[in-house]
Each structure stands twice: as structure tokens, then as C-alpha cells.
């Protein structure tokens, strides 16, 4: 039980660092949440390695003047310095043009402990909603993977929302 508690605390701190980096639009800190060979799967893309993750983060966050994310508590399966997890996330964004959007989805994560610090080995974003905060926007027809630890296959692509949404 002690290993699970220590991993849970470390992984929650990882999510807190991730959310803080997004709020501050700090691509270096954002990418530092990933292992050197980490993989970020989002919007139909697979971004591999910290350097590429930092570049894509900078590009994506550059479209926003402000962005705030709220993470749920991760469900975890911990084994010998690695873990799998799933958590929901809600994102509120104000774009550079003044428009706003809310996004709701889930991250399916693989974690690795490196030097006493938990990092993302792989993140797979599953978007369920994007639109106005009153939920009048687009709900995506994305897979329901069932109870944890079920999730997407390693080669499964992430959802790409239609350009009109």
C-alpha cells in the first residue's frame, strides 16, 4: 500500500506541474513533465521526445491568451516504477482572437518513475466535447473503453475534430 500511496502523491504532483505549466504557457516545464523519450498523442498527432513536445506545446498554447485546466483524480495501476492511469480533464481557453472554448476529455497515461520523480511516458488524449461552457457545442462520438484499466490500443489514433466544429 505504501508504494501505491507514494506513486499516487507523485503522480498527482505531476498533474499539478502539468496544469501549472499550461496556465503559465511554459513549454519547457510542460515538456519536462514527459520522459526524454515520452510520447504525446493528441488531435491525430503523435509527438515524440521532449524537444518535439516542447515545440508543439509552444505552438498550441501560442493560440491562447489564457488557458486553465482542471484535472480529475487519476485512477492508477502501479507496478515497480511504472504505472497506468486515466483521468478526466476540463480545459477553458480564451484564444488570441478573443473567442472562448471549453474542452472535456480523458487522458490515458503511462507513467515512469525516473530519479524519484514521476513522468509521463505516454499520454493519449480522448476528447469528448469542445464548445461553449453551456455544453451546446460538439460532443464527439469517441470510444467508450469501459472500466479502468481498459483504454486505447497503443496504435490507436486520437480523435480529430472536424474543421467545422
- pLDDT at position 65: 95
User: Which three cell numbers mark 22?
Assistant: 499550461
- pLDDT at position 1: 61
- pLDDT at position 150: 94
β-strands 100-114, 117-131 pairing = antiparallel
**Domain ranges across the chain:** 2-139
- pLDDT at position 160: 82
For residue 131, pLDDT over 80 is answered with: yes
Give the DSSP per-residue string, 102-135.
EEEEEEEEEEEEETTEEEEEEEEEEEEEEE-TTS
User: Which three cell numbers mark 120?
Assistant: 509521463
**CATH topology assigned to domain 2-139:** Nuclear Transport Factor 2; Chain: A, (3.10.450)
How does pLDDT run across 27-59, given as a tens digit for each residue?
A: 999 999 999 999 999 999 999 999 999 999 999
0.85 cut: is pTM over it? yes
How does pLDDT run across 134-164, given as a tens digit for each residue?
A: 999 999 999 999 999 999 999 999 988 776 6
How does pLDDT run across 106-115, given as a tens digit for each residue?
A: 999 999 999 9
Residue range 114-140: mean pLDDT, rounded: 96
User: Which three cell numbers mark 152?
Assistant: 486505447
Amino acid at each position: 500500500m505504501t508504494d501505491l500511496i507514494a506513486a499516487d502523491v507523485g503522480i498527482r504532483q505531476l498533474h499539478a506541474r502539468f496544469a501549472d505549466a499550461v496556465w503559465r504557457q511554459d513549454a519547457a516545464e510542460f515538456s519536462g513533465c514527459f520522459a526524454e523519450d515520452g510520447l504525446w498523442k493528441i488531435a491525430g498527432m503523435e509527438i515524440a521526445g521532449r524537444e518535439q513536445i516542447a515545440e508543439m506545446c509552444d505552438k498550441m498554447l501560442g493560440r491562447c491568451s489564457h488557458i486553465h485546466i482542471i484535472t480529475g483524480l487519476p485512477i492508477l495501476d502501479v507496478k515497480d516504477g511504472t504505472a497506468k492511469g486515466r483521468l478526466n480533464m476540463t480545459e477553458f481557453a480564451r484564444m488570441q482572437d478573443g473567442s472562448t472554448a471549453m474542452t472535456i476529455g480523458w487522458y490515458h497515461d503511462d507513467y515512469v518513475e525516473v530519479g524519484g520523480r514521476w513522468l509521463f511516458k505516454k499520454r493519449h488524449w480522448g476528447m469528448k466535447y469542445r464548445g461553449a461552457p453551456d455544453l451546446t457545442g460538439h460532443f464527439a462520438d469517441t470510444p467508450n473503453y469501459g472500466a479502468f484499466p481498459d483504454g486505447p490500443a497503443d496504435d490507436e489514433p486520437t480523435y480529430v475534430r472536424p474543421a467545422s466544429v
